[in-house]
């Protein structure tokens, strides 16, 4: 039995290692186009920034260590250029030579390459770099050390943000350019605005909603012209505008692709017999929306690779490859931003009706020193409260809450099930009612009609048609509030209902406070008194992020 694997990083190497653990007899050949296998691709930006000091740390395994430990035949600088499915061979180019290698089973894990957007002069510049492989990171760190002073990062996705922070950490004057309206496009806007603020705190200049149009090479630096007319001088340009599956050779050999990504079934099988595929170069089916897209994330790639080894060597007892939730996380300065499942845009595209919750709980008990807010968004299906997606930004405890929510979504939980989660509580770690339990309580209230929400996006719609009632304290109100609102602290509301009646003048009342907790109480008081009332989801903390500071009067 000979298993040939194309690509020796996440999916490919997971498949190889698992295959050996399942079979001592199999001959396992890994063909890797690049110089290294099993390297720490997610660690590259941290090497550029100097947090990972030694290049050797990036090389988790080598062909030699993999031979010794797992008896793998790992061949680097071997580029597979074609498959002959009839003869069950692959054509391999190496050092100018070409050879054919036969397979019984073939696993394609070629990964993705940086996509190159249509920017005039992009191909002429010698200062444009990507950050996909160890050599890229080494070259970028060398360039940083060679007196570079200004960097422009094109694309503010995960890698772009990590690269920008690394360059800023190395002392470069750094700008980041994003075509979408905000950084980290999969994040909701009110979450992304927190990330933008943190980037600016790190000294990074953020240009969102614009594209790079032209790169003009110069003697001492290049100039990047943006669509809004801004010109940025750059000693280093990092291209991180996204990736595309590296599948041309395989599609040409007959592997069925969809927009360039290989189509596989739940066991990783392509349309060709005994040819499997996994990782960034394959189409995945989104677990929440059913959308079909390649998912360029290390976790799903590793797991799919392992499951394919099972499908080959233990057919019949192999588990299907899980559909991904797209759970992802990034550190930006002192912040963590994370997400799992669907966001508003993907839900809208899928035609799924949903409620959104905004919460701003502390990561641990408020009375314990070092409390920091977690800004949390959760989407739930309107019909039954099914959890659909969540995002969080904060300083501490963000990864934990997103992982719990990812687990809950995978389990098919409804929002009310979160009330019952028995999570670990002591003051340094959480609260007796953990933020996750709070999501359950708030969501359950929404589903049961106990809590009616309104949203900051509806401000323009409501500001004249309703009395907007701000129930924060007088001091909080005077430090910044939305124009035309009435301030009655929630502690005085029961005795001042007459004022509400008068100011509302038969209009609905839309209540708000700082985070949504007090306005929920006030909303219940008003509902009991017969008002048409709703509570602002996420309160002023969310409203500031949605409407901007300029919407406030002081």
Residues of this chain, 166-225, that bind a second copy according to CB under 8 A: none
List the interface residues with a second copy, window 381-400 (CB under 8 A). Answer: 399-400
166 touches 177 (CB < 8 A): no
List the interface residues with a second copy, window 65-84 (CB under 8 A). Answer: 65, 68-71
Q: How big, in percent rounded to 5, are the helix, strand and coil portions of the chain?
A: 35, 25, 40
- Choose, by CB under 8 A, the member of 118, 353, 420, 549 that binds a second copy: 420
φ, ψ dihedrals at 170, nearest 5°: -85, 5
Q: Site map for a second copy, 11-50, x if CB under 8 A?
A: ---x-----xxxxxx--------------x-xx--x----
- Choose, by CB under 8 A, the member of 444, 514, 515, 537 that binds a second copy: 444
Q: How far is the CB of 500 from a second copy (least distance, A)?
A: 14
Span of 173-181, 222-230, 372-380, 430-438 interacting with a second copy by CB under 8 A: 430-438
**Residues β-bridged to residue 511:** 469, 535
Name the helix (H) or strand (E) containing 29: strand 27-31
List the interface residues with a second copy, window 220-279 (CB under 8 A). Answer: none
CB 507: neighbour CB atoms within 10 A? 15
Which residue, 105 or 431, is less far from a second copy as judged by CB? 431
- The SS3 call for residue 551 is helix
Which residue, 109 or 301, is less far from a second copy as judged by CB? 301
Which residue, 152 or 438, is less far from a second copy as judged by CB? 438
314 touches 322 (CB < 8 A): no
231 touches 152 (CB < 8 A): no
Which residue, 252 or 474, is less far from a second copy as judged by CB? 474
Which residue, 134 or 234, is less far from a second copy as judged by CB? 134
- The SS3 call for residue 117 is coil
Instruction: Using the Cα atoms of residue 143, residue 148, residue 153 and residue 159 in order, give the sign of their dihedral.
Output: positive
- Choose, by CB under 8 A, the member of 193, 196, 302, 519 that binds a second copy: 302
List the interface residues with a second copy, window 339-358 (CB under 8 A). Answer: 340
d(Cα 510, Cα 197) in Å, to the nearest integer?
29
Does 5 bind a second copy (CB under 8 A)? Our answer is: no
User: Cα–Cα distances in Å, from 541 out to 365, 519, 525, 538?
Assistant: 19, 13, 22, 6
Does 141 bind a second copy (CB under 8 A)? Our answer is: no
Q: How far is the CB of 340 from a second copy (least distance, A)?
A: 7
List the interface residues with a second copy, window 148-167 (CB under 8 A). Answer: 158, 162
Does 498 bind a second copy (CB under 8 A)? Our answer is: no
543 touches 512 (CB < 8 A): yes
543 touches 483 (CB < 8 A): no
Q: Supply angle C-alpha 72, 78, 82, rounded to 5.
A: 110
- Choose, by CB under 8 A, the member of 174, 336, 346, 356 that binds a second copy: 336
Q: How far is the CB of 305 from a second copy (least distance, A)?
A: 10
Instruction: Give the binding-site size for a second copy (rule: CB under 8 A).
Output: 99
Which residue, 232 or 264, is less far from a second copy as judged by CB? 264
Span of 259-267, 273-281, 350-358, 485-493 interacting with a second copy by CB under 8 A: 485-493
**Token couple for 294:** 């390649």
542 touches 514 (CB < 8 A): no
- Choose, by CB under 8 A, the member of 127, 182, 379, 520 that binds a second copy: 520
């Amino acid at each position: 039995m000979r298993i040939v694997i194309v690509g020796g990083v996440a999916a490919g190497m997971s498949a190889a290692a698992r295959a050996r653990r399942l079979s001592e007899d199999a001959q396992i050949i890994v063909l890797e186009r690049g110089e290294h296998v099993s390297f720490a691709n997610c660690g590259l930006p941290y090497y550029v920034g100097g947090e990972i000091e030694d290049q050797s740390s990036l090389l988790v395994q080598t062909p030699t260590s993999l031979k010794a430990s797992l008896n793998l035949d790992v061949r680097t600088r071997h580029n597979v250029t074609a498959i002959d499915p009839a003869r069950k061979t692959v054509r391999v180019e190496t050092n100018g030579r070409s050879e054919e290698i036969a397979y019984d089973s073939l696993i394609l894990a070629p990964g993705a390459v940086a996509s190159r957007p249509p920017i005039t002069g992009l191909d002429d510049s010698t200062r444009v770099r990507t950050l996909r492989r160890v050599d890229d990171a080494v070259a970028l760190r060398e360039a940083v050390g060679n007196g570079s002073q200004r960097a422009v990062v094109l694309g503010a996705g995960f890698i772009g943000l990590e690269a920008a922070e690394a360059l800023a950490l190395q002392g470069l004057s750094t700008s980041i350019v994003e075509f979408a309206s905000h950084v980290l496009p999969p994040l909701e806007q009110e979450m992304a605005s927190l990330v933008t603020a943190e980037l600016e705190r790190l000294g990074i200049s953020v240009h969102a909603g614009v594209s790079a149009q032209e790169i003009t090479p110069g003697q001492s630096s290049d100039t990047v012209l943006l669509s809004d007319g801004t010109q940025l001088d750059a000693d280093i340009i990092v291209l991180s505008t996204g990736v595309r599956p590296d599948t041309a050779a395989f599609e040409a050999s007959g592997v069925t692709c969809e927009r360039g990504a290989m189509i596989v079934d739940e066991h990783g099988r392509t349309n060709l017999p005994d040819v499997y595929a996994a990782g960034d170069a394959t189409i995945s089916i989104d677990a929440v929306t059913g959308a079909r897209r390649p998912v360029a994330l290390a976790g799903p790639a590793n797991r799919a690779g392992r499951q394919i080894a099972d499908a080959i060597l233990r057919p019949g007892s192999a588990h299907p490859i899980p559909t991904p939730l797209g759970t992802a996380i990034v550190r930006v300065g002192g912040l963590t931003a994370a997400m799992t499942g669907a966001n508003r845009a993907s839900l809208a595209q899928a035609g799924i009706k949903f409620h959104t919750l905004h919460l701003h709980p502390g990561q641990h008990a408020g009375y314990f020193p070092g409390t920091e807010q977690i800004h949390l968004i959760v989407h739930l299906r309107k019909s039954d409260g099914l959890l659909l997606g969540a995002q969080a930004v904060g300083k501490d405890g963000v990864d934990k809450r997103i992982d719990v929510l990812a687990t809950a979504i995978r389990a098919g939980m409804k929002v009310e099930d979160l009330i019952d989660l028995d999570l670990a509580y002591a003051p340094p770690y959480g609260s007796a009612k953990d933020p996750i339990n709070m999501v359950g309580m708030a969501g359950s209230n929404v589903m049961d009609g106990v809590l009616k929400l309104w949203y900051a996006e509806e401000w323009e719609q409501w500001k004249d048609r309703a009395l907007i009632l701000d129930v924060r304290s007088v001091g909080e109100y005077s430090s910044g509030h939305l124009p035309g609102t009435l301030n009655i602290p929630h502690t005085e509301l029961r005795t001042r209902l007459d004022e509400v009646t008068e100011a509302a003048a038969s209009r609905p009342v839309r209540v708000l406070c700082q985070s949504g907790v007090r306005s929920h109480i006030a909303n219940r008081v008003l509902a009991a008194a017969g008002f048409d009332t709703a509570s602002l989801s996420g309160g002023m903390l969310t409203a500031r992020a949605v409407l901007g500071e300029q919407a406030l009067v002081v």
